[in-house]
Amino acid sequence: MINERVLANQEEILPDIIAFNDAMTDALWELYDRAHRIWNSIKDNEDFKGAEIEAKCYLSYDYPKLHPVQGDDRQDLWNAICDAGWNKLYDDGVSLTSLSLPRNDESFESFIGMDDGYNNWNEGLDRELTKDLHLTSAFHNLYEHMEFAITDFVYVREFETEINIEIHK
């Protein structure tokens, strides 16, 4: 219902969609780069034989300061929206899948879904208005699969990352 109402006037929210997608792409790049640097520093070390890195990116733990609706109860609402207990798909963060090294050592373009020539995950949006946005698969995942209201996440500009090293011996 929220998406239907907001997207009836997509051109008004378009700058926030663009800024969110850009900020999230930057956060995913930083995650990807850091995970690969960590992996490269441990992969040949005998102490880390059988190691695997899993990297995830989440929306900021703090309610977005840019959101037009502010109030004392908003952080509690945000905590509920971003609770993987309520939305199991969010357990892996914003991406369709977490980054797992060395198992899924793919290019950054592949990780964000921009390697197939299609390079715009704008399903559910005005195709003509958003045709040049290069929305990532993570945007699509939040909007289409996790069913976040678009106004829940497009005001986010900060992200949290998590990188775990697991050793199987």
Alpha helices in 10-131 (DSSP H): 10-42, 74-81, 108-111
Say whether pLDDT at 53 is over 80: yes
The Cα–Cα gap between 160 and 93 comes to 9
Distance CA 64, CA 164 (A): 26
The tokens of 114 are what?
């921009």
Specify the pTM. Answer: 0.91
Angle at 157 between CA 155 and CA 163, to 5 degrees: 130
Give mean pLDDT, residues 37-58: 93
**DSSP letters along 115-155, please?**
-SS-----TTS-TTTTTTS---HHHHIIIIIS---HHHHTT
Q: Which helix (H) or strand (E) is 161 found in, with range?
A: strand 159-167
Q: In this prediction, what percent of the chain has a pLDDT beyond 90?
A: 58
pLDDT tens digits, one per residue of 78-133:
998 899 888 888 999 999 889 999 988 889 999 999 987 777 898 888 888 888 88
Task: Evaluate the CA torsion angle 101, 106, 109, 115 in order and state its sign.
Answer: negative
d(CA 132, CA 128): 8
